[in-house]
């Protein structure tokens, strides 16, 4: 594929740039289509994204419908078919402002104003449309072969809620129609697995206008949540963690000392108590620090590994809320480890191994990022270098491949982030390990070494699930609601055929309950096919036990598996033994 640069150079596109160039060019072609259909449109930003492209557009009072998106897409196809050449040009800053002003492109003029005084501004023209851009682009519109507009939404200009809300039109683009078709199938499957839809069908959780961003967990959802908590507690007891609980609301002075007030106050909720400002905690770490500081410590006690399933609150913009993935209230499976400098590598290795055990349990692949010092940070250069090297050494000791993510560390220290890959190939950032030299300094934490001298401990912040609520959303979509037996809200449904003697079905149900199996008896006078479909498609129950005349006569159970869709006959004792093994071993 040939591309054209802002200086007019035409060259073969490097393979790694092909999709980005196609998608950026698609944004320009979409903007040209919009301008033809809505001449009053004024354009903000229109970048390529990981999967496609978007453009933020001021359409005045015009509200777009799904039919309008189709019209825009059809106009794009006309532009592609016209095979319009795309030509670059360059202006100095003053001429560029004049040029854009004449076109009433106020957002582009504002953008030019944000650029350095000596900037050279490049433009790309395609027929009757010209856009400010650094390029490169495809040489002719016909090179865009596979694209589709997907949705529209609102977006603040420059992502600032104090600015005007623009219309964001999203689209996707690929090299070939086959690649586009494959991606559309993936989108359909993702929609089928949407945790909001499945959560409603399975009665796991609910969202209400009375509490936007504050999810309600229903009885079945609480079973799922509690099983995750039980597993978390089990593996942490085995790894010599103690569990603590810290207050939901603490004085503002604590958050000033920790650094959160200066770096995070816009995302914090606060209230006035006894004429003083108190904050609802957005993170658990200051509380964990206070627990450590509540008594003196010896080097012999370290490391101290303190876990907390703490509920935190963070103010998220309403437009950013999304099911369980982005909420304002959630439970973090935090732990804070206080240790000596010589223990850093071993402790990080231990945390990585624990997180690996958790993700392997659910069948997740993952990759790791090492995030380094951000611009808005606390602490000395020496401490940051030591902390970053500690994380790097641990990853290399484990032989774990990692990607460097420059400048994305926490404000108090570098971090290792774990990105899960689900059954659809999507990635999610969940687990994290953050090494912190700063907070122990801020809170003057100490321990006494072997020479009876006072030393400063080092601190690790870490999570496995991240947010339990978000992790439930990820699991729901990963398994499409077909949870493993140990996690399933209802593990077995006993289904009776109409007219059958129910005494044996009651015996089966009671036996399963006595063995602590989460079980339901469906003895409604309905056809067995209807009951099976409901158990499979709505409740997604791992096992269905079907009781008919044959089963009553032989005193056996016909067990239908949701995973294999096969029905196997066995004795009740055999089935109970099978269940007990799968639940105990969490397979």
Residues carrying an active site annotation: 285, 314, 332, 334, 336, 415, 461
Edge to edge, what strands does the sheet with 165-174 contain?
Answer: 42-43, 52-58, 165-174, 146-156
d(CA 128, CA 85): 11
Residue linked to tokens 């059809």: 74
Q: H or E element: which one contains 376? A: none
Contact by Cβ (8 Å): 420, 427: yes
Q: Is the peptide bond before 136 cis (omega within 30 degrees of 0)?
A: yes
Contact by Cβ (8 Å): 507, 518: no
264 CB contacts (<8 Å, ≥6 apart)?
Answer: 282, 283
CB atoms within 10 A of CB 47: 13
d(CA 355, CA 440): 24
d(CA 315, CA 280): 10
Tokens of 502: 């129910």
Using alpha carbons, select from 560, 430, 535 the residue that is nearest to residue 481: 535
CB atoms within 10 A of CB 578: 15
Residues present in the chain in total: 587
d(CA 56, CA 65): 16
* Alpha-helix runs per DSSP H in 239-284: 252-258, 260-264
d(CA 428, CA 19): 22
* Alpha-helix runs per DSSP H in 103-176: 106-113
């Amino acid at each position: 594929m040939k591309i054209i640069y802002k200086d007019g150079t035409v060259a073969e596109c490097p393979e790694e740039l092909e999709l980005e160039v196609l998608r950026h060019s698609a944004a320009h072609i979409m903007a040209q289509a919009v301008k033809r259909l809505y001449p009053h449109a004024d354009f903000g930003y229109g970048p390529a994204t990981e999967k496609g492209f978007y453009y933020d557009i001021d359409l005045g009072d015009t509200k777009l419908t799904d039919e309008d998106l189709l019209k825009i897409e059809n106009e794009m196809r006309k532009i592609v078919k016209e095979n319009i050449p795309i030509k670059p040009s360059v202006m100095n800053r003053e001429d560029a402002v004049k040029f854009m002003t004449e076109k009433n492109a106020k957002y582009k003029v504002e953008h030019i104003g944000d650029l350095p005084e000596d900037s050279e501004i490049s433009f790309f023209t395609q027929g009757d449309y010209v856009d400010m851009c650094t390029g490169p682009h495809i040489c002719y519109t016909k090179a865009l072969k596979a694209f589709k507009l997907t949705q529209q939404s609102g977006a603040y200009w420059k992502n600032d809620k104090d600015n005007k809300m623009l219309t964001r039109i999203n689209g996707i683009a690929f090299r070939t129609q086959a690649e586009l078709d494959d991606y559309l199938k993936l989108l359909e499957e993702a929609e089928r697995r949407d945790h909001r839809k499945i959560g409603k069908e399975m009665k796991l959780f609910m969202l209400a206008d009375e509490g936007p961003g504050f999810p309600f967990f229903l009885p079945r959802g609480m079973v799922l949540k509690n099983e995750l908590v039980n597993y978390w507690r089990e593996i942490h007891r085995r790894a010599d963690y103690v569990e603590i609980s810290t207050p939901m609301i603490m004085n503002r002075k604590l958050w000033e000392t920790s650094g959160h007030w200066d770096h995070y106050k816009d995302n914090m909720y606060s209230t006035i108590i006894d004429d003083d400002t108190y904050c609802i905690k957005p993170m658990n770490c200051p509380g964990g620090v206070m627990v450590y500081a509540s008594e003196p410590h010896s080097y012999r006690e370290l490391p101290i590994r303190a876990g907390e399933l703490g509920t935190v609150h963070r103010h998220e913009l309403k437009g950013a809320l999304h099911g369980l993935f982005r909420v304002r209230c959630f439970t973090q499976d935090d732990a804070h480890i206080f240790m000596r400098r010589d223990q850093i590598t071993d402790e990080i290795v231990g945390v990585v191994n624990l997180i690996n055990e958790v993700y392997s349990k659910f069948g997740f692949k993952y990759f790791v990022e090492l995030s380094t010092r951000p611009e808005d940070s606390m602490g000395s250069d020496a401490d940051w270098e030591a902390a970053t090297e500690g994380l790097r050494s641990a990853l290399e000791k484990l032989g774990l491949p990692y990607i460097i993510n420059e400048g994305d560390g926490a404000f108090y220290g570098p971090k290792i982030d774990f990105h899960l890959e689900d059954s659809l190939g999507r990635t999610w950032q969940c687990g994290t390990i953050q090494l912190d030299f700063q907070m122990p300094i801020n809170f003057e934490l100490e321990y006494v070494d072997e020479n009876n001298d006072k030393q400063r401990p080092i601190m690790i912040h870490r999570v496995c699930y991240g947010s339990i609520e978000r992790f439930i959303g990820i699991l729901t979509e990963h398994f499409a609601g077909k949870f493993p037996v140990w996690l399933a809200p209802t593990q077995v449904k006993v289904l009776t055929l109409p007219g059958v003697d129910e005494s044996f079905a009651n015996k089966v149900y009671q036996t399963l309950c006595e063995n602590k199996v989460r079980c339901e008896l469906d003895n409604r006078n309905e056809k067995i096919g209807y009951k099976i479909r409901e158990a499979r498609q709505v409740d997604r129950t791992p096992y269905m036990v079907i009781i008919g005349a044959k089963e009553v006569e032989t005193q056996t159970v016909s067990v239908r598996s949701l995973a294999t869709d096969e029905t196997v006959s066995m004795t009740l004792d055999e089935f109970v033994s099978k269940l007990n093994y799968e639940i105990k071993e969490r397979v």
